[in-house]
Structure 1
Amino acid sequence: MTSSQEATQTEDTAYFRRTKPIEMTEDVRTSFFVSTIHAQGAWQEDELHMAPVSGLVAAELEAYQPREDFITTRISFDILGKLHAGEVKVVTETVRPGRTIELIQSTVYAQGRAVLVGRTWKVIASDTTRIANIHDPELPPVEDAEPWDEMTGRWPGGFIRSIQARTFSDHAPGHGRVWITTDIDMIEGETPSPFVKLVGLADTANGLSPIAEPSRGDVFFANVDLTIHFLREPVGAWLGFAISANIGETGGGITSAILYDADGVVGRCEQSQTVRLAD
């Protein structure tokens, strides 16, 4: 990292800054941003990490025609191309309107082309306390975990440097239990909700307990998507993971994780990977 990048990182307090006023045309919301060094990816210096891009989309989906009587049950992201650092545009619109169920979509544009699509299913909230039942195991609280700096040693990039992590003694390649958080806001001057903050951290699952060691430089295992299913709206500032990672024999991989917040199990996430070995 150059001295100018180091100075910029010290000055920036968010992953993105708005560059223009929000545009609303009928039912379409268009927002304009520029990324900071904190959003930098781990594979290439001139690309964005998918985690903060996911959080940016989550913020736009949350702000688009909000309904207090709805909850998010799924948010999914498909990467369509390189997530170029710099100026990005996010266009949000309703795909499927409804009184009790709706589907909303955000498309991220960089350098004139669509590079990521995020979609969220929202359903009307109801009281299901009487039949609520969680079968996934609990994760010990963040206070019981030990500080963990292996992330910055294993992965480069501004986003990874923005994360604080804590882990447990049974953490190992292919499976692990981790708590992470960040003090960086998603959008400059806007306090992120727990939903935005935690969605903006979930993509790290792919790199928290990898089977292969990325620092050796002989393997590439980037994920091409991210899907998060929620039982309820998230709370708190820390996101917990219980991770299971698998790589097949023909270039495919899957990282799965149970997700936790301050109140316990909040959902699950899945990522599919393209796995390549160096020649």
Structure 2
Amino acid sequence: MGAEEGFYERIGEGRFRATEATRGPWDAGSQHAGPPAALLGRAVEERPGARGDMRVARITYEILRPVPIGELAVATSVLRAGRGTELVEAALTPAGADAPVMLARALRIRVAGEPVPAVAQGAQVPPPGEAGVAPFFPVPWETGYHSSMEARFTEGAFTEPGPGTCWMRMRVPLVAGEAVRPLDRVLVAADSGNGIAAVLDIGRFVFVNGDLSVHLHRHPVGEWVCVEARTSVDAGGIGLADARLHDEKGPIGRGVQSLFVAGR
């Protein structure tokens, strides 16, 4: 995979082509939800007329169907515009489809003109330099999300059931030939919480998330994003992956996923 490649290629206004770098662990023809989540987040920030004095504080995704690897269209609309907040919707639709496969609703909040006292809750995690490199789940294809992200664990492992704390860094840009944004980094990693804190054997069970909500009190700085995740599963086959998100300066927010859990 060349350094010039990315998770997507821009092929027109609001149109992208997914590369093999987006491929997820569940199906060879479907994307991991991290890259399309980041693509929709970027669309919210880049949309025409977007205010420069606002920042994404919360973005919630509904994953309606698996996102195919292929051509995609992104569209945005403003649902509510106010002086201090706005609500923006973004939709991801495959070429030739008549309905989106993924929706996002982002709450953007105006950044204070005068600084307010900063208060961060949550302990700092060990830095990525103290973390061990760990392989992703074994998958039957060479190229995908698992090869496009660098992962270092300070607690647990993808192949070790239980809680996990993992630093992640993009090996390729979100869009080929374009600079990586801070929001790209956190959104492309946040959807990995259920894998980082997998409590069941991936060879025997699927634990797929149907949504993702990311809350940010601060946007990340630097290349690394840490996902400190815990997963709970009920006997009825419903699970919850809850993750604290960090950068190397400290906590930045939280990511939560609702899980469909079933035997293979």
Pairwise same-fold verdict (TM > 0.5) = yes
- The 1:95/1:169 distance shift into structure 2, 3 A limit, reads closer
Gaps of 5+ in 1: 1-8, 23-30
Seq. identity, %: 26
Instruction: Kindly state the Cα deviation for residue 134 of structure 1 after the two structures are TM-superposed.
Output: 2.4
Q: What is aligned with 1:206?
A: 194
1:167-187, Cα deviation, whole Å (9 max, x unpaired): 125555231111011121111
Letter in structure 2 aligned against 1:118: A
Q: What is aligned with 2:69?
A: 85
The answer to whether residue 138 in structure 2 is matched with residue 153 in structure 1 is yes
Letter in structure 2 aligned against 1:68: G
Alpha-carbon distance in 2 for matches of 1:211, 1:15: 28
Match of 1:191 among 159, 179, 182: 179
Higher mean alpha-carbon deviation, 78-87 vs 156-165, is at 156-165
The answer to whether residue 30 in structure 2 is matched with residue 38 in structure 1 is no
Match of 1:269 among 242, 246, 255: 255
Q: What is aligned with 1:71?
A: 55
Instruction: Kindly state the Cα deviation for residue 66 of structure 1 after the two structures are TM-superposed.
Output: 3.0
The answer to whether residue 1 in structure 2 is matched with residue 13 in structure 1 is no
Instruction: Please tell me whether the aligned partners of residues 174 and 243 of structure 1 are also in contact (alpha carbons under 8 angstroms).
Output: no
Match of 1:177 among 160, 165, 186: 165
The answer to whether residue 218 in structure 2 is matched with residue 235 in structure 1 is no
Higher mean alpha-carbon deviation, 55-64 vs 168-177, is at 168-177
Instruction: Kindly state the Cα deviation for residue 133 of structure 1 after the two structures are TM-superposed.
Output: 2.5
Letter in structure 1 aligned against 2:57: T
Alpha-carbon distance in 1 for matches of 2:66, 2:126: 37
* Structure 1 or 2: more helix by fraction: 1
Letter in structure 2 aligned against 1:108: L
Alpha-carbon distance in 2 for matches of 1:144, 1:155: 30
The answer to whether residue 37 in structure 2 is matched with residue 54 in structure 1 is yes
Alpha-carbon distance in 1 for matches of 2:80, 2:222: 30
TM-score (norm 2): 0.91
Alpha-carbon distance in 1 for matches of 2:259, 2:137: 21
Q: What is aligned with 1:3?
A: none
Letter in structure 2 aligned against 1:36: T
Alpha-carbon distance in 1 for matches of 2:8, 2:156: 35
Aligned residues: 257
Instruction: Kindly state the Cα deviation for residue 138 of structure 1 after the two structures are TM-superposed.
Output: 1.3
CA RMSD of aligned residues (A): 1.8
Q: What is aligned with 1:6?
A: none
Instruction: Kindly state the Cα deviation for residue 99 of structure 1 after the two structures are TM-superposed.
Output: 1.5
Letter in structure 1 aligned against 2:167: W
Instruction: Please tell me whether the aligned partners of residues 29 and 68 of structure 2 are also in contact (alpha carbons under 8 angstroms).
Output: yes
1:97-144, Cα deviation, whole Å (9 max, x unpaired): 1121100111000141210001110111125543x3223121111111
Instruction: Kindly state the Cα deviation for residue 96 of structure 1 after the two structures are TM-superposed.
Output: 0.6
Alpha-carbon distance in 2 for matches of 1:274, 1:146: 30
Letter in structure 1 aligned against 2:71: E
Alpha-carbon distance in 1 for matches of 2:116, 2:85: 20
1:150-197, Cα deviation, whole Å (9 max, x unpaired): x15368661111111111255552311110111211111211211112
Q: What is aligned with 2:93?
A: 109
The answer to whether residue 85 in structure 2 is matched with residue 97 in structure 1 is no
1:225-276, Cα deviation, whole Å (9 max, x unpaired): 0000001222111110211111111010000000001221000000000011
Alpha-carbon distance in 2 for matches of 1:229, 1:73: 6
